[in-house]
Amino acid sequence: GAVVSQHPSWVICKSGTSVKIECRSLDFQATTMFWYRQFPKQSLMLMATSNEGSKATYEQGVEKDKFLINHASLTLSTLTVTSAHPEDSSFYICSAPRTAFSYEQYFGPGTRLTVT
Amino acid sequence: AQTVTQSQPEMSVQEAETVTLSCTYDTSESNYYLFWYKQPPSRQMILVIRQEAYKQQNATENRFSVNFQKAAKSFSLKISDSQLGDTAMYFCAFTRPANNNDMRFGAGTRLTVKP
């Protein structure tokens, strides 16, 4: 089956610094990728839709300048949390559909971000 | 707005017995897809079962089956012969082709299978 990877799996950073999370489709090309945020014991909340070669589409309430998304290639999308604060600590998950018209998503293993 | 509601935050079941997790959704779309995902402690999302809204027949995957009631916008998951490895968070999810197939999740149900 299709595989989506994320790197790093766990990152700790200091308040005020920026951290980048990568999402890669390993055996297929993904023109669209999705970024989710999951707080402890809560559901996945869609943050943004990452589109290859164009600007990301952010969900209402998500700060575009804080969560920078870049989808520079068909296999890589990055999420950069800028000027991170402790409240940004969360579990971030990406997903990608197998094809442009596929409704089924393949999920990455997630990245745990801790901001101290 | 498209919403997914899971009204059971926690459930438990004895090993080998059957349990049903409930899910309702709200949409004005006619074309959509429904899913149940399992999230074990590793937090990797695992697809359990999926249902295309245009199909009347309920989906089945081994011990897992759904009761899809389109008019009532209900999509419950039945787990038969529960196993200890079924212990996890279960999320009901909804996606719409008209919106890039972005996925919306319910709040989740924490299922514990007791030996």
Chain B CB contacts of A45 under 8 Å are 105
Cβ–Cβ < 8 Å for A4, A106: yes
Question: What is the separation, in whole angstroms, between the first and last Cα of chain A?
Answer: 37
Cβ–Cβ < 8 Å for B86, B49: no
Residue of A nearest to B5 (CA): A43
- Between positions 33 and 92 of B, the ones with CB within 8 A of A are 33, 42-45, 47, 50, 91
Q: Residue B101 and residue A91: Cβ atoms within 8 Å? A: no
Q: For the segment A66-99, what is each residue's pLDDT rounded down to a tens digit?
A: 999 999 899 999 999 999 999 999 999 999 988 7
Which of A49, A76, A10 lies closest to B42 in space, CA to CA?
Answer: A10
- Range with the poorest average pLDDT among A2-6, B3-7, B42-46: A2-6
Chain B CB contacts of A44 under 8 Å are 45, 91, 103, 105
Q: Check whether B100 has a pLDDT greater than 80.
A: no
